[in-house]
């Protein structure tokens, strides 16, 4: 349970500290000594026995052994540290919670965009987020690292490349005595981390969680666990979907936005490499291969607690799905939370459960407490706003890839979805309309419209659950030399969902605050409460995938298309866990440009889909038998769409991870 709501705290008084002295003397001993004294097993959780206001606050500049800015000396990154003073005074070493980020000065962290602050001597004062307030009193150090080229660090940001990853890895090496740290950015006075156990847990949302994924993929010793939240697993898949551009800019634009002002001049060579190595034609190059952490998942030693919003249209759940599958294949210990939000931290949609869960996770993997969290259900999934279910493993046992096939219906573009292949020669046609997207297609699923081809089941007689990643294989004939394709899965039926397309991406920020851990006047540990932003809808798009048809043969090299020639391409749809309830229909929609989510092709093609050679592979709980039971009925019986169907519009293409 959270600590009670309170006003921003001032430092603890001397009398209060004296009252706690006896308790602290006992608890400052190592866990084994505590257990021996108590004659019982190790305590189930760390306790807030250290003073926050007296904590050591310092900055160490760690040499990352790279010269990214080409100034003739290796770069140093700033690691701002807060750790319990009493532990240091008694010679007790502590583990580390680390968040490595490029955003501490440019953009801020968390729902309130907190930035680092410093006193007149440059000593850190405010540590963004709640990690310091909550975990330092419980016997952890918190280390917030400025990636190279940002805030107070040397070097250049390189958007997920070697410099980014080495910025954090070098700090882990320093915490384990394998790298050099200094008391200033340019001085020669070396500083050691003798206060650290060497055990590190990395955490962070978006770019920060992406760095955690990348560092884990190096296999660095000392990194015991990572908690990536809405994180990228492959930077190519952030900017492109099999050649189709997802954003109207590249990594050079992001680098320019987030690097420190003084880095603008010294990092032009790095910027040029980002431009030259990431062509906007969608080809996968060596630059993208370097920034693909999935291929190195076999090196991961750390446990992984992954968190992702299933309606995250910034860092799509394709990143979670492919990372999760690769980790599973290599036997990595894992846990997952999947919410109905967009790009949102669990602190801002399930705070009362999230913080105690994270606490127990770090206690187990960083302090070694046998609290049983690794034996609890692997997955928490949000089914409706603030309504959660759990699974012992994820995807659930009995989940199997099941092939479903589209077939022609009574009207052009209004077809059916089943398990029987369409007869040879059966086709569907649509013309790309770059002004329309998934909301328009779904709203008119039962109407013959020129911009999409839709296929639906009959109203289901049983619930049908999809858990994992889907694929759609299309054989299409274009009328022009270029074409972009989209495929979406839709739950057709009324529901109350989180309003993920709104500015809060599924949450409302309230005025009052709750406090987590201890605080000072400069860093209170108090944060605005949130509530679910709910929306009533008549359909829900729950998984998406896109591709450039010119990259049908390889993501590495796109080619112009020959009009009138058929091509086969597979679209990877984002991972999800969604239940289509009995009475609703499951729909597959195939179309061109998904407006607001991908960039259009250079031409506006008409596409003819060979339905006999088109199929979808869906991760169904219960497999093919579950699908056949759910669609069993006296006929197709598709319901007409509501007169004024309600869905959610999609956000714009402009995002920052």
Confidence grade of residue 649 (pLDDT, cut at 50, 70, 90)? confident
Lowest mean pLDDT among 40-44, 90-94, 184-188, 242-246: 40-44
- Give dist(CA 104, CA 90) in Å, integer: 32
- Give dist(CA 358, CA 163) in Å, integer: 29
CA-closest candidate to residue 473, choices 590, 648, 558, 328: 590
Q: Among the options 343, 359, 484, 584, which is catalytic? A: 343
pLDDT, residue 18, reads: 37
Is 432 annotated as catalytic?
A: no
Residues ≥6 apart with Cβ < 8 Å to 160: 210, 211, 214, 232, 235, 251, 291
Residues ≥6 apart with Cβ < 8 Å to 254: 159, 656, 657
- Dihedral sign of CA atoms 79, 84, 85, 88 in order: negative
Question: Which domains, ranges and CATH numbers included, belong to the chain?
Answer: 44-305 (3.40.50), 399-631 (2.60.120.260)
541 is written with which tokens?
Answer: 């798009």
Query: How many CA atoms lie within 13 Å of 579's alpha carbon, on the beta-carbon side?
Result: 15
Is 312 annotated as catalytic?
A: yes
- Give dist(CA 320, CA 325) in Å, integer: 9
Phi, psi for residue 609 in degrees, rounded to 5: -95, 125
- Calculate helix-pair angle for 31-38, 14-27, nearest 10 degrees: 80
Confidence grade of residue 248 (pLDDT, cut at 50, 70, 90)? confident
The per-residue pLDDT for range 174-231, each reduced to its tens digit, is: 999 999 999 999 999 999 999 999 999 999 999 999 999 999 999 999 999 999 999 9
Query: How many CA atoms lie within 13 Å of 495's alpha carbon, on the beta-carbon side?
Result: 25
Residues 492, 419 contacting (CB under 8 angstroms):
no
The per-residue pLDDT for range 258-306, each reduced to its tens digit, is: 999 999 889 999 999 999 999 999 999 999 999 999 999 999 999 999 9
15 is written with which tokens?
Answer: 């009398």
H/E stretch holding 265: helix 263-266
pLDDT, residue 640, reads: 43
Phi, psi for residue 481 in degrees, rounded to 5: -85, 0
Cα–chain center distance at 570: 24
Transcribe 150-168 into DSSP letters: STT--S---SSSHHHHHHH
CA distances 532 to 191, 273, 503, 650, Å, are 46, 42, 13, 18
- Give dist(CA 52, CA 645) in Å, integer: 53
CA-closest candidate to residue 474, choices 458, 443, 453: 453
- Give dist(CA 319, CA 233) in Å, integer: 5
Tally the residues of the chain.
Answer: 657
Transcribe 109-155 into DSSP letters: BTTTTB--EE-TTS-EEE-SSSHHHHHGGGT-EEEEEEPTTSTT--S
The per-residue pLDDT for range 532-563, each reduced to its tens digit, is: 999 999 999 999 999 999 999 999 999 999 99
Q: Among the options 167, 206, 486, 615, which is catalytic? A: 206
Q: Among the options 312, 345, 440, 594, which is catalytic? A: 312
Q: With 50 as the cut, is the pLDDT of residue 7 above it?
A: no
**DSSP 3-state helix, strand, coil percentages of the chain (rounded to 5)?**
25, 30, 45
The per-residue pLDDT for range 501-537, each reduced to its tens digit, is: 999 999 999 999 999 999 999 999 999 999 999 999 9
């Amino acid at each position: 349970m959270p600590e009670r709501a309170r006003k921003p705290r001032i430092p603890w008084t001397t009398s209060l500290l004296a009252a706690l002295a006896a308790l602290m003397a006992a608890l400052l001993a190592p866990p084994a000594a505590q257990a021996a004294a108590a004659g019982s097993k190790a305590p189930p959780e760390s306790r807030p026995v250290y003073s926050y206001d007296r904590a050591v606050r310092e900055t160490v500049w760690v040499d990352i052994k790279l010269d990214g800015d080409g100034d003739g000396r290796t770069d140093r990154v700033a690691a701002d540290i807060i750790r319990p003073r009493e532990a240091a005074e008694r010679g007790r070493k502590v583990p580390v919670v680390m968040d490595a980020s490029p955003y501490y000065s440019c953009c801020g962290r968390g729902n309130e965009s907190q930035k680092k602050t410093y006193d007149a001597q440059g000593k850190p004062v405010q540590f963004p987020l709640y990690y310091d307030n909550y975990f330092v009193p419980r016997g952890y150090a918190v280390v917030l690292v400025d990636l190279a080229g940002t805030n107070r660090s040397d070097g250049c940001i390189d958007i997920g490349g070697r410099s980014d990853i080495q910025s954090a890895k070098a700090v882990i090496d320093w915490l384990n005595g394998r790298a050099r740290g200094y008391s200033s950015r340019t001085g020669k006075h070396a500083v050691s981390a003798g206060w650290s156990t060497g055990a590190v847990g990395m955490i962070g949302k978006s770019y920060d969680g992406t760095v955690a994924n990348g560092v884990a993929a190096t296999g660095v010793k000392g990194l015991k666990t990572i908690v990536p939240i809405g994180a990228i697993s492959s930077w190519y898949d952030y900017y492109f979907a099999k050649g189709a551009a997802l954003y109207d800019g590249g990594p050079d634009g992001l680098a320019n936005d987030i690097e420190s002002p003084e880095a603008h001049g010294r990092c032009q060579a790095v910027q040029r490499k980002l431009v030259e190595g990431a062509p906007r034609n969608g080809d996968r190059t060596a630059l993208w291969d370097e920034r693909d952490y999935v291929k190195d998942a076999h090196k991961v030693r750390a446990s992984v607690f992954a968190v992702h919003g299933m309606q995250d249209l910034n860092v799509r759940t394709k990143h979670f799905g492919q990372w999760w599958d690769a980790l599973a294949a290599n036997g990595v210990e894992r846990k997952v939370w999947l919410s109905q939000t967009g790009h949102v931290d669990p602190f801002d949609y399930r705070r009362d459960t999230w913080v105690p869960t994270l606490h127990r996770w770090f206690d187990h993997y960083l302090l070694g407490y046998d609290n049983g969290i690794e034996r609890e259900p692997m997955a928490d999934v949000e089914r409706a706003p603030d309504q959660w279910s759990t699974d012992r493993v994820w995807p659930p046992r009995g989940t199997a890839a099941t092939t479903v096939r589209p077939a022609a219906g009574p009207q052009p573009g209004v077809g059916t979805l089943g398990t029987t292949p369409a007869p040879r020669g059966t086709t569907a046609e649509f013309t790309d309309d770059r002004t329309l997207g998934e909301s328009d297609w779904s709203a008119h699923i039962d109407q013959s419209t020129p911009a999409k081809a839709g296929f639906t089941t009959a109203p289901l007689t049983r619930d049908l659950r999809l858990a994992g990643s889907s694929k759609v294989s299309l054989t299409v004939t274009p009328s022009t030399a270029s074409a972009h394709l989209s495929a979406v899965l839709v739950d057709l039926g009324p529901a109350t969902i989180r309003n993920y397309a709104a500015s809060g991406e599924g949450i409302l920020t309230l005025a009052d605050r709750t406090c987590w851990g201890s605080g000072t006047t400069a860093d209170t540990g108090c944060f605005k409460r949130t509530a679910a932003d709910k929306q009533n809808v008549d359909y829900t798009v729950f998984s998406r995938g896109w591709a450039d048809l010119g990259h049908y043969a390889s993501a590495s090299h796109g080619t112009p298309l020959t009009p009138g020639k058929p091509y086969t391409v597979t679209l990877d749809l984002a991972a999800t866990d969604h239940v289509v309830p009995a009475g609703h229909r499951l729909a597959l929609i195939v179309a061109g440009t998904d407006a607001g989510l991908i960039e259009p092709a250079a031409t506006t093609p008409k596409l003819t889909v060979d339905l006999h050679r088109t199929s979808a592979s869906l991760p169904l709980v219960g497999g093919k038998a579950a699908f056949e039971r759910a669609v069993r009925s006296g006929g197709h019986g598709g319901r007409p769409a509501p007169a004024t169907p309600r869905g959610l519009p999609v956000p714009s293409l402009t995002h920052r991870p």
